[in-house]
Amino acid sequence: MTNHRCGALVFRCMDFRIKPSILSQLLMRVGYSEGSYDLVSVAGACKDLLSDKSGERDFLIKQIKLSQQLHNIQEVVMLYHDNCGAYGVPDVDQEYKTQASDLSKIKSLLADEFPDLIFSAYIIKGVPADSLSLEKLI
């Protein structure tokens, strides 16, 4: 197998309103250039790492393991967003608090399982208004 590397694995929500070209620009602004990361697009991004269904958790863990083995990543970036259907929380502030709390738990969980990796998390804001910005959480 050839040796190809990239710096990070990015988990994003599958939501169509977060257009790939815009996402790429947002990530570039915070230091992740296009082509420098693996990208996993799944409903709720990493939300299912807290699922009580092991199959849902295992799918996401497998993506991290494969990215680490195949591309030698150093970092996992978790991108959540406002107005996320996978969360289904109508109140913006409550959604933010829930997502921030979940991301904190997920970071601890992943740090135990992947002690050599760095974990970062951002919230993509402005999805309903189609005016996206990134806020760093972790």
> Per-residue x/- mask for Zn ion, residues 69 to 98, rule CB under 5 A?
---------------x-x------------
> Smallest distance, Å, CB 23 to Zn ion?
12
Rg (CA), the chain: 14
Of residues 68 and 126, the one with the C-beta less far from Zn ion: 126
Q: Which stretch binds Zn ion (CB under 5 A): 6-14, 89-97, 107-115, 120-128?
A: 6-14
Judge contact between 133 and 124, C-beta under 8 A. yes
Of residues 15 and 102, the one with the C-beta less far from Zn ion: 15
> Smallest distance, Å, CB 3 to Zn ion?
34
- Rounded to whole angstroms, the Cα distance separating 78 from 13 reads 9
Write down the H helix ranges in 1-138.
Answer: 20-29, 54-71, 92-113
> Smallest distance, Å, CB 98 to Zn ion?
13
User: Given candidates 7, 8, 11, 15, which one binds Zn ion under the rule CB under 5 A?
Assistant: 15
Tell whether residue 13 is a contact of Zn ion (CB under 5 A).
yes
Report the amino acid identity of residue 111.
Answer: A
Name the DSSP class of 49: G
Query: Phi-psi region for residue 72, left (φ > 0), alpha (ψ -120 to 50) or beta?
Result: left
Name the site residues for Zn ion (rule: CB under 5 A): 13, 15, 84, 86
